[in-house]
Structure 1
Amino acid sequence: MSNQNGIKVFAGSSGRDFAIRICDYLGSELGQSKVITFSEGNTYVKVEETVRDKDVYLVQSIGLKPNDEFAEILFWIDAFKRASANSVTVIMPYYSYAKGDKKDEPRVSIRGRVCADCIEVAGADRVVTMDLHSPQIQGFFKKPVDHLFALPILCEYIKSLQMDDLVVVAPDSGFAKEARKFARYLKLPVAIGDKEREDHSENAKIIEIVGEVKGKNALIVDDFSISGGTLVDLAIELKNRGAKKIIACLSHILLNEKGVEKLENSPIEMLISTDSVNNPYVESCDKVKLVSVAPLFAETIRRIHNRQSVSPLFKEVPIEVLDSGSKY
Structure 2
Amino acid sequence: MSEITAHGEKKLVLATGRAHPELAREIAKELGTDLLPVDAYDFANGEIYVRAGESVRGTDAFVIQAHPAPLNNHLMEQLIMIDSLKRASAKRITVVSPFYPYARQDKKGRGREPISARLVADLYKTAGADRIMSVDLHTSQIQGFFDGPVDHLMAIPLLADYIRTRVDAENITVVSPDTGRVRVAEQWAERLGGAPLAFVHKSRDLTVPNQAVSKTVVGQIEGRTCVLIDDMIDTGGTISGAVQVLKNAGAKDVIIAATHAVFSEPAAQRLSESGAREVVVTNTLPLNQSQRFPQLTVLSIAPLIARAVREVFDDGSVTSLFDGNA
TM class by shorter-chain length? Answer: over 0.9
Q: 1:190 aligns with which of 193, 197, 212?
A: 197
Instruction: Give matches, 1:1-328, under 5 Å.
Output: 1=1, 3-5=3-5, 6-164=11-169, 165-186=171-192, 187-198=194-205, 199-280=207-288, 284-315=292-323
Give the whole-Å Cα distance in 2 for the aligned partners of 1:283 and 1:98. 22
Q: 1:316: how far off?
A: 6.0
Aligned residue type for 1:190: L
Query: Structure 1 205/281 Cα, relative in aligned 2: closer, same or farther at 3 Å?
Result: farther
- Render the CA deviation track for 1:136-184: whole Å, top value 9, x for unaligned: 1111111111111000111111111133512111111011111111011
**3-state SS, counterpart of residue 271 of structure 1:** strand
- Judge conservation of contact 2:176–2:229 (CA < 8 Å) in 1: yes
Provide the rounded CA distance (Å) in 2 between the counterparts of 1:115 and 1:174.
23
Aligned residues of 1:78 and 1:122 also touching (Cα < 8 A): yes
SS in 1 for 2:274: coil
Seen in structure 2, the aligned counterparts of structure 1 residues 90 and 282 have a Cα distance that, compared at 3 Å, is farther
Partner of 1:246: helix, strand, or coil? strand
Instruction: Judge conservation of contact 2:268–2:291 (CA < 8 Å) in 1.
Output: no
Q: 1:65 to 1:234 in 2, by over 3 A?
A: same
Offset of residue 314 of structure 1: 2.7
- Call closer, same or farther: CA 1:221–1:316 in 2, change over 3 Å: closer
Q: Specify whether residues 71 and 4 from structure 1 end up closer, same or farther in structure 2 by C-alpha distance, changes over 3 A only.
A: closer
- Identity %, equivalent residues: 34
Amino acid at match of 1:10: A
Aligned-pair distance for 1:293? 1.2
The Cα shift of 1:95 comes to 0.5
Deviations 1:57-113, CA, capped at 9 Å, x for gaps: 110123332211111111001100111111111111010311111112111111011
Point out where structure 1 has 5 or more consecutive residues left out of the alignment: 319-328
Q: TM-score, normalised by structure 1?
A: 0.93
The offset of 1:2, in angstroms, is 6.0
| Cα distance between partner residues in 2 of 1:182 and 1:38 | 46
- Which amino acid is the alignment partner of residue 123 of structure 2? C
Q: Unpaired runs of 5+ in structure 2?
A: 6-10
What is the CA-CA distance between 1:30 and the residue it aligns to? Answer: 1.0
Distance 1:227 1:312 in 2: 32
| Counterpart AA for 1:178 | V
Matches of 2:72 and 2:32, distance apart in 1: 32
In the TM superposition, what is the alpha-carbon distance from 1:315 to its structure 2 partner? Answer: 4.5
Equivalent in the alignment of 1:324: none
Q: Aligned pair in 2 of structure 1 residues 277, 117: CA closer, same or farther (>3 Å)?
A: same
- Tell me, yes or no, if the aligned pair for 2:154 and 2:323 is still in contact at 8 Å: no
| Residue pair 1:89, 1:126 contacting (<8 A) in 2 also | yes
Pair 307,36 (structure 1): closer, same or farther in 2 beyond 3 Å: same
What is the RMSD computed on CA atoms of the aligned residues? 1.6
Q: Secondary structure at the match of 2:266?
A: helix
Which residue of structure 2 lines up, in the alignment, with residue 326 of structure 1? none
AA matched with 2:31: L
Check conservation: 2:151, 2:322, Cα contact below 8 A.
no
> 1:278-300 CA distances to partner (integer Å, 9 max, x unpaired)?
12256632211111111111111
Tell me the SS of whatever aligns to 1:99.
coil
Tell me: CA distance 1:182–1:10, structure 2 relative to 1, closer, same or farther (3 Å). Answer: same
Superposed displacement of residue 41, structure 1 = 1.9
| Aligned residue number for residue 321 of structure 1 | none
Q: Does the residue aligned with 2:315 lie in a helix, a strand or coil?
A: coil
Greater CA drift, 62-71 or 267-276: 62-71
* Cα 1:258/1:281, change in 2 over 3 Å: farther
